[in-house]
Structure 1
Amino acid sequence: MPRQDWPKGQARQACCLLLATLALPAGAAAQTLTMGVGSPVSSLDPHYHQLRSNSEVSQMLFDTLIVSDAQARMRPGLAESWKPLGSDGWEFKLRPGVKFHNGAPFTADDVAFTLERIPQISGPGASFNTHVRPVRGVEVVDEHTIRLRTSGPNPLLPIYFSQVMMLSRQVHANAATADFNNGKLAIGTGPFRLVSYTPGDRIVVARNGNYWGEASHWAQVNYRFITNSGARMAALMAGDVDFIDQIPTGDMERIRKDERFRVAETTSLRSMYITLDATRAGKVPLLTDNAGAPMERNPLADPRVRRALSLAIDRPTLVGRVMQDMAVPTGQFMPPGSYSYIPDLPVPAPEPEAAKRLLAEAGYPQGFQITLAGSNDRYMNDARVVQAVGQMWTRIGVRTTVEAQPYATFIGRATRREMPAALLSWGNSTGEVSVLLSSVFSTVDAARGRGAANRIQYSNPAMDRTLEEAEVELDDAKREALLQEASRIVIKDGAVVPLYIQKALWAMRAGLTYEARVDERNDPNGVRPARP
């Protein structure tokens, strides 16, 4: 970020932070953490794009009312407590004495402002409007008490608010996304202050000495974007970084045996799946007959074809050979043991001969040609996964061309529906499946914040009704049953093909430790010196 673009006050602040770091005694180098991460951010605006990499950087600079711990359990954040108001709202008691980086106090009016701002911000993907749409009214009771009214019971609202970063009306009233990216208004209440941001390269933050919570062990964090897995691993081995995420699966055995390093891992809440553009009635881009001519009828609109494509995939082999067991094969969206997981829904067994019969029944005995697209720099082995699935589809007669591109290019094309099949993902960071169903599979309704990431225009009124019923059900057991039923409806329709639940993997030098997080978040405060 060019320093000449900063306001004088903030430029002086950044300069002082850098000078202070340089002036530290030699032992203070131990207070600098350098992280190498695989996923860059699309913006420092915390409301621009509901993306895991964006959110983890946002949580360095900003705070949420409620925080999610390493196991996705809710803990007090900027709100010390919260309680339901009968059946139509929630009251939050805010933590007193919290200040933004520039000294402005955090109050209930800032919560109200944040709720006003989010619907006005439009990014390239899923919107945070999904999280705030249940709020129908806001009552600022006093500086540290706010009441959020809903049109009926909404037991999930506190969970949603664990994802919503709070801004200041005083600081951010007219803030544009560019004002965050150039550093001018990247001002929050979080544990770190922004020092510099070089898009595509790194973010440097410094400890916020006035943070309301536990002070970070690290005086400075260098957060480097290293999207190439091999380069990221090499940086760790060479000592250029202290900590990396998304360990290349082929390196897991080697690094586990190397005493210079330590590994942290857990089964994450990230579901990997393939979407099929089943809603177009006519011609679909990059889907042709075997002669290469566009097809007048969309074969993906036939449930038998979609079922055939799912049966062609050998999920255990995909996980074992491509992911090298760093994932869990699945036929649904949540990992075993989590809330809203469906215990009696087994992993689909591969049945290539049955898949061929279904294609013939649907009128495609010789198959057709299709393009399967995905990223090549976002998720573990993403390019290898689309290649493997493409080979499995080709074996049943659906000749598959694979396109693996940088995520920034791929996700724009997927949003514009430029490919018939795409490897996509959702991290269920709230610990249950409701936000995935609402954002990815609800019938698109921008006014209600539904279907914000529904890239295939999927729509099933039965799923919509079931999900909406779940969202207002106060009984946990009944709500879980409704969420399971809504998931079953989507899976049965077959417009999405679940593949596996990704594991979250980190490696670090042996002198450090990290509590593995199911939400995959890279949290510098969670990186600590290992006890002797």
Structure 2
Amino acid sequence: MILALFMLLALAAGCGKTGSDSPTPSTPPTTTGTSPDATPDTPSGPPVIDQIVVGTTQIGHFNPAMIGHDMASNDLIFDRLFRMDPATGEFYSDIFESMEWSEDGLILTCKMYENIYFSNGQNATAEDALYSFLCLAEPWAVPVMLSNSQLDVDWTRENGYVDKYTVQFKVKKQHFLFQNTDVVLVCKEWAESVGYDSEDWYYNTVVSGRYEVVEYVPGSHYVARARPDYWNIEKEGPHVVQEYYIKVYPDTSVAFMDLELGNVDFMIVSTNDYARWEKNPIEGVDMLVKSNGSVMNFVFGFNNNEVWFDKRVREAIAIGIDWNAMGETLYREMFEPSDSLVPKSSPYYISPDAPREFNPEKAKQLLAEAGYGPGELKLYARTFQDYKDMMEIFQGLAGNIGIEVTIEFGDATSVIPYWGQGGATDFGFYAFSMGTAAQDVWTNSTFLMVPGGIPWYTLPFPEAMDIWKDVSSIDPAARMKASQEFQKYVYENIYTVSFAAQRGALGFNSNKIPRDILDRHTSTAIGGFLFGRMGMLSAGW
């Protein structure tokens, strides 16, 4: 696993005072041992942690509308328009005191708190909230996340401003994940005054969040310090964590050594380092293993090979391959079996009524009934080099039940166009690699249901869409019902074989950070780290 606070394509923008030189670099903190900086609770006041060091392999800028944005900053220095509780699937906001959908589910009306102030002293209004979304429609912005949001840009630009503290967003079609779009509050006046490509987005970003960047050294580190004038400090504060030091390392192993020495307090840990820690735990270093919200699936190429329309063949794959052995080989100590499209940690997960058991002899019998003797069923797949281990393990296990598998590998520039043009491939593997804090069925099943993507992935059964259409409903009850029905439908018909939850390990200094607080403020194993909220007294210190 790659250690990084991933700099994915993100949304919205931040604020700050204009033009000044970058600050003089400070010396990164160096300690040995456990180095607890926390002052315990005393009659005189709450605990205080001077600094938490976060290890990563890269940092970015703080313009969330552009490629290279530093995702850790979304919660650390910004307020977010929308949030989702991964435990319940419910949405809430840092800046809106109320959010209400219209009866047709297409217009979301949001009422802001009136006492939000940016670090330059400017009061945040509906113009700022509206700009935070609409700046993503600018030619210089990253378009991907905005297109996924289903925002009707033209309507929202014309009608979104209702009054000083009320804004409306219209979507092209009803979709609950509009409120899962990671948009942060931007100071419109400041952002427009400095321009989208200004160095002020690195060194002088104006923000409304709990911390602000006081030092930035490209390729080395940045420092986010507590804002005592944070607008919501009376409700959330005071700050327990006074400063976050986001430090860049050349690779995960070097960062992990500093975690062992007590010089790093939080990092994403590689599978190899996690396995090493499990065998020889280190005092003061703990691990939190979490889902990234997705599951690895074996995918049948219905549209490329008619053999899959015979349920007996699909069942032979489902029970004739030792999926647990495959998962243990691939993921080792990280392996968690999963029998559905979403992990067991998802609020949408339901367990199958009749779990399948590994039975290679019955699988051979099913293949024989379908007309395939040993070596007579031949499968072909062309896929990415990154899937080599997975494919070759499957190849060996399929051979044990008499299925002959041929595999060719390539890179994305050759494989994806080949698939898109309908190139032959009979099967493959899929997981939503970016992860999803929502842990929802829609995100984890679009590969099966959205035509126009990869043709061989798509389920060719009309009734599937009838069940699936409400998994994106804004009505929580309707969404839950459809999500569970679709999982059951896919499992009982064996339209995919889900077998491994995608998980990762978060290493942390247990002398500084309580496990339960960290758990509540990390959405997934690869992102969604709520450092800003975690640093406040209201986090549960």
Q: Same fold (TM over 0.5)?
A: yes
Q: Equivalent residues in 2 for 1:284-303 (5 A)?
A: none
Kindly state the Cα deviation for residue 204 of structure 1 after the two structures are TM-superposed.
1.8
Note if contact 1:276-1:300 (Cα within 8 Å) is conserved in structure 2: no
- Of the three residues 438, 450, 455, the one matched with 1:430 is 438
- Match status 1:443 vs 2:443: no
Residue 63 of structure 1 aligns to a residue whose secondary structure is coil
Residue 248 of structure 2 aligns to a residue whose secondary structure is strand
Residue 506 of structure 2 aligns to a residue whose secondary structure is strand
Kindly state the Cα deviation for residue 143 of structure 1 after the two structures are TM-superposed.
2.1
Unaligned runs of 5+ in 2: 1-15, 30-34, 39-48
Match of 1:370 in 2: 381
Kindly state the Cα deviation for residue 441 of structure 1 after the two structures are TM-superposed.
3.9
**CA spacing shift, 1:134–1:221, aligned 2, 3 Å:** same
- Match status 1:160 vs 2:180: yes
Q: How far, CA to CA, are the matches of 2:188 and 2:142 in structure 1?
A: 25
- Match status 1:278 vs 2:315: no
Kindly state the Cα deviation for residue 76 of structure 1 after the two structures are TM-superposed.
3.6
Q: How far, CA to CA, are the matches of 2:316 and 2:504 in structure 1?
A: 30
Match of 2:506 in 1: 506
Match of 1:250 in 2: 275
Q: How far, CA to CA, are the matches of 1:413 and 1:208 in structure 2?
A: 48
Match of 1:323 in 2: 331
- Match status 1:64 vs 2:58: no
Match of 1:46 in 2: 64
Larger RCO (CA under 8 A, 6+ residues apart): 2
Kindly state the Cα deviation for residue 252 of structure 1 after the two structures are TM-superposed.
4.3
Note if contact 1:367-1:399 (Cα within 8 Å) is conserved in structure 2: yes
Match of 2:42 in 1: none
Letter in 1 for 2:432: S
Kindly state the Cα deviation for residue 77 of structure 1 after the two structures are TM-superposed.
0.6
Letter in 1 for 2:279: R
Note if contact 2:128-2:187 (Cα within 8 Å) is conserved in structure 1: yes
Note if contact 1:206-1:220 (Cα within 8 Å) is conserved in structure 2: yes
Q: How far, CA to CA, are the matches of 2:487 and 2:82 in structure 1?
A: 26
Q: Equivalent residues in 2 for 1:408-487 (5 A)?
A: 416=417, 420=425, 421-426=428-433, 427-438=435-446, 440-444=447-451, 458=458, 460=460, 461-472=462-473, 474=475, 476-487=476-487
Kindly state the Cα deviation for residue 250 of structure 1 after the two structures are TM-superposed.
1.4
**CA spacing shift, 1:187–1:226, aligned 2, 3 Å:** farther
RMSD over aligned Cα atoms: 4.9
Q: How far, CA to CA, are the matches of 2:82 and 2:19 in structure 1?
A: 32
- Match status 1:33 vs 2:33: no
Q: How far, CA to CA, are the matches of 2:389 and 2:220 in structure 1?
A: 27
Kindly state the Cα deviation for residue 329 of structure 1 after the two structures are TM-superposed.
1.0
Per-residue CA deviations over 1:418-439 (Å, capped at 9, x if unaligned) read 695345335331253234345x
Shifted more, 298-307 versus 329-338: the winner is: 298-307
Note if contact 1:110-1:167 (Cα within 8 Å) is conserved in structure 2: yes
Note if contact 2:37-2:512 (Cα within 8 Å) is conserved in structure 1: no
Per-residue CA deviations over 1:96-120 (Å, capped at 9, x if unaligned) read 3434455554321233233334356
Note if contact 1:118-1:129 (Cα within 8 Å) is conserved in structure 2: no
Match of 1:288 in 2: none
Letter in 1 for 2:76: M
Letter in 2 for 1:82: M
Per-residue CA deviations over 1:10-46 (Å, capped at 9, x if unaligned) read 6636416x46999xxx9999633322247x6798653
Note if contact 1:190-1:208 (Cα within 8 Å) is conserved in structure 2: no
**CA spacing shift, 1:119–1:318, aligned 2, 3 Å:** farther
Query: TM-score under structure 2 normalisation?
Result: 0.68
- Of the three residues 309, 322, 343, the one matched with 2:351 is 343
Per-residue CA deviations over 1:410-463 (Å, capped at 9, x if unaligned) read 6x667556695345335331253234345x444247xxxxx7xx6866255544
Note if contact 1:62-1:166 (Cα within 8 Å) is conserved in structure 2: yes
Note if contact 1:244-1:508 (Cα within 8 Å) is conserved in structure 2: yes
Note if contact 1:443-1:464 (Cα within 8 Å) is conserved in structure 2: no
**CA spacing shift, 1:110–1:469, aligned 2, 3 Å:** same
**CA spacing shift, 1:491–1:103, aligned 2, 3 Å:** farther
Match of 1:222 in 2: 246
- Match status 1:90 vs 2:91: no
Q: How far, CA to CA, are the matches of 2:347 and 2:36 in structure 1?
A: 45
Q: How far, CA to CA, are the matches of 1:123 and 1:303 in structure 2?
A: 46
**CA spacing shift, 1:483–1:125, aligned 2, 3 Å:** farther
**CA spacing shift, 1:306–1:35, aligned 2, 3 Å:** farther
**CA spacing shift, 1:309–1:250, aligned 2, 3 Å:** same
**CA spacing shift, 1:184–1:218, aligned 2, 3 Å:** closer
Kindly state the Cα deviation for residue 184 of structure 1 after the two structures are TM-superposed.
7.6
**CA spacing shift, 1:12–1:180, aligned 2, 3 Å:** closer
- Equivalenced residues, count: 476
Residue 209 of structure 2 aligns to a residue whose secondary structure is coil
Which protein has the larger Cα radius of gyration, Structure 1 or Structure 2? 2
Letter in 2 for 1:160: N
Unaligned runs of 5+ in 1: 1-7, 282-296, 376-381, 446-450
Match of 1:78 in 2: 95
- Match status 1:196 vs 2:216: yes
**CA spacing shift, 1:362–1:490, aligned 2, 3 Å:** farther
Q: How far, CA to CA, are the matches of 1:226 and 1:309 in structure 2?
A: 42
Kindly state the Cα deviation for residue 82 of structure 1 after the two structures are TM-superposed.
2.2
Note if contact 2:292-2:502 (Cα within 8 Å) is conserved in structure 1: yes
Sequence identity (%): 15
Kindly state the Cα deviation for residue 207 of structure 1 after the two structures are TM-superposed.
1.9
Q: Equivalent residues in 2 for 1:106-185 (5 A)?
A: 106-118=124-136, 127-133=145-151, 137=156, 138-149=159-170, 156=176, 159-161=179-181, 163-172=182-191, 183=202
Q: How far, CA to CA, are the matches of 2:430 and 2:314 in structure 1?
A: 15
